[in-house]
Amino acid sequence: MSSDLMRFTIAIPAKLLDEFDEYTAQRGLLVNRSEAIRNLIRDCLVQAELSDPAAEVVGSITIIYDHHIPGLTQKIDEVEHNYPGIVISSMHVHLDHDNCLEVIAVRGVSNMVNELSNCLLGIKGIKYGKLTTAATAGRLEA
């Protein structure tokens, strides 16, 4: 962290502050209030950056599917291969006799990552899917 810390004062209703302290403590986030507020500010800035379709992002696409559906795994592979450089890794897990979990690590321009996710999640036979993105490492160091 930078040594050029700035101090500022905020006014907040006691009940809201109590709820915030309880929220952060339950999640193990409360080192101190200053760090908790810094984390909220970082998250706000990252979310604003992610709304830019040209922003560089990293993330994961998580999908769950029945691997017994004919041709489904090939369709998933085909979509992934259509986005070279965006898909950087994947992990395949057998959940039970029928269901598989795939976590696909992605990195690239936001609109392309979203396009890839939409293509994957639109494949018939995908039971569940979700894209999770974050800003690139440079923003996370702020």
**Is the whole-model pTM more than 0.75?**
no
Report the alpha-carbon distance of residue 101 to residue 46 in Å, rounded. 27
Q: Is 12 left (phi over 0), alpha (psi -120 to 50) or beta?
A: beta
- Calculate the dihedral angle through the C-alpha atoms of 75, 80, 81, 83, rounding to the nearest 10 degrees: 140
Q: What pLDDT does residue 94 have? A: 96
Report the alpha-carbon distance of residue 92 to residue 73 in Å, rounded. 11
Q: What pLDDT does residue 138 have? A: 54
Average pLDDT for the chain: 88
- What integer is the mean pLDDT of 72-92? 95
The residue that leads in pLDDT, 72 or 38, is: 72
87-94 and 99-109: which strand pairing? antiparallel
What's the pLDDT tens digit per position in 1-50? 557 888 889 999 999 999 988 888 887 755 678 888 888 888 788 777 77
- What integer is the mean pLDDT of 69-90? 95
Report the alpha-carbon distance of residue 109 to residue 19 in Å, rounded. 37
Lowest mean pLDDT among 14-18, 117-121, 134-138: 134-138
Report the alpha-carbon distance of residue 63 to residue 119 in Å, rounded. 12
- What integer is the mean pLDDT of 86-103? 96
116, two tokens: 């890839």
> 3-class DSSP state for residue 69?
coil
